[in-house]
Amino acid sequence: MEPVIIISTYPNKKSITKIANEFVKNKIVACVNISRISSIYSWNGKVENASEYLAIFKTTTKNKKLLKKKIKETHPYDVPEIVEVDVTSINKSYLNWLIESTN
């Protein structure tokens, strides 16, 4: 089983905290890191400057498809960011914990 990292951004801490807790509880992910960030992006023809929360979802290939589906279903944005990051290197003990936490 291979590790998978999915990145997304959320408009506020409340929305991502609720989703993160649900995903961890249901073993879809082992962990979600949440950080406050500043984002500058184009939306509807305007340049936007916004505070957002970056979520880094950590899971395995077994749960990747379900995780992406659940993010789409629960995300508050019209166009949610769902970016998969290729993991080419991971320490064995962390990988073991990741697999154990999502089974």
Of the candidates 84, 74, 83, 79, the one whose C-alpha atom is nearest the C-alpha of residue 42 is 79
pLDDT (tens digit per residue) in 11-22: 999 999 999 999
Coil/strand/helix, residue 88? coil
Q: What is the pTM of this model?
A: 0.93
Span between the terminal Cα atoms of the chain, in Å: 11
Residue 91: per-residue pLDDT: 94
Q: What interhelical angle do 61-74 and 13-25 show, nearest 10?
A: 140
Mean pLDDT of the chain: 96
Q: Name the CATH topology of 3-101.
A: Alpha-Beta Plaits (3.30.70)
Domain residue extents for the chain? 3-101
Asked if 37 and 9 count as a contact pair (C-beta separation under 8 A), the reply is yes
pLDDT digits 0-9 by tens, 20-69: 999 999 999 999 999 999 999 999 999 999 999 999 999 999 999 999 99
